[in-house]
Amino acid sequence: MNIHRFSPSATLKPFIREYLIIEADEAIKTNTIPDTSIVLSFRISGEVSRANGTEKCALPLNAVAGLRNSSREFYYAQQTINLLVLLNEGGIKAFSKMPAHELFCESISTDNLFAAAELSLLSEQLAEKEDNNARVKVIEAFLIRKLIDNTPDMLIHYAVNSIKQQNGLVNVKDLVKSLPISLDPFEKRFRAVIGTTPKRYAGIIRLRNLISNRSAHNSLTETSLEAGYFDQAHFIKDFRLFTGQSPKDFFRLSRYW
Q: Which domains does the chain have, with CATH numbers?
A: 2-145 (2.60.120.10), 154-213 (1.10.10)
- How many Å apart are CA 69 and CA 51, to the nearest integer? 16
Are 123 and 9 in contact by the 8 Å Cβ rule? The answer is no
**Cα–chain center distance at 182:** 28
Residue 221: how many other CB atoms lie within 10 Å: 12
Q: Is 124 helix (H, G, I), strand (E, B) or coil?
A: helix
pLDDT, greater one: 234 or 18:
18
CA atoms within 13 A on the CB side of 254: 22
For the chain, first and last CA: distance in Å? 12
Q: Is 58 helix (H, G, I), strand (E, B) or coil?
A: strand
pLDDT tens for each residue of 161-190: 999 999 999 999 999 999 999 999 999 999
Q: What is the pTM of this model?
A: 0.91
**Cα–chain center distance at 34:** 7
**pLDDT of res. 220:** 83
pLDDT tens for each residue of 99-147: 999 999 999 999 999 999 999 999 999 999 989 999 999 999 999 999 9
Spell 52-84 as b/e; 16+ CB within 10 A means b.
eeeeeeebbbbbbbbbbbebbebbbeeebbbbb
Task: Provide the pLDDT confidence category of residue 1 given band limits of 50, 70 and 90.
Answer: confident
The 3-class secondary structure across 159-197, one letter per residue, is HHHHHHHCCCCCCHHHHHHCCCCCHHHHHHHHHHHHCCC
Are 35 and 204 in contact by the 8 Å Cβ rule? The answer is yes
C-alpha angle 111-116-121 in degrees, rounded to nearest 5:
125
Residues 6+ apart with CB under 8 A from 153: 90, 93, 189, 193
Residue 16: how many other CB atoms lie within 10 Å: 24
